[in-house]
Amino acid sequence: MTELSDVRFLTVAEVAELMRVSKMTVYRLVHSGELPAVRFGRSYRVPESAVTDALQRPIADVG
């Protein structure tokens, strides 16, 4: 298990930039539970590993 001190957290803006989506899309993913996040005060932080996992998942099966 990863130590909490080893986890790197990203802001919503950083996640949006990495995923090439809007900040609102990141908020939607967080609120729907598709992207895990921790709330710090009035803002959210997303574990970097969760972003990496989300980018590797297929979005949709088209065809």
Helix (H) or strand (E) holding 40: strand 38-40
Pairing of strands 38-40, 9-11: unpaired
In this predicted structure, the answer to whether residue 58 has a pLDDT above a threshold of 80 is no
In this predicted structure, the answer to whether residue 60 has a pLDDT above a threshold of 70 is no
Q: Mean pLDDT, to the nearest integer, of 50-62?
A: 82
The domains located in the chain, with CATH, are: 4-56 (1.10.1660)
Tokens representing residue 3 in the block: 């130590």
Q: What is the rounded CA–CA span in Å between residue 54 and residue 63?
A: 21
Q: Mean pLDDT, to the nearest integer, of 11-39?
A: 96
Higher pLDDT among residues 2 and 44, named by residue: 44
Sole residue written with tokens 């809007």: 22
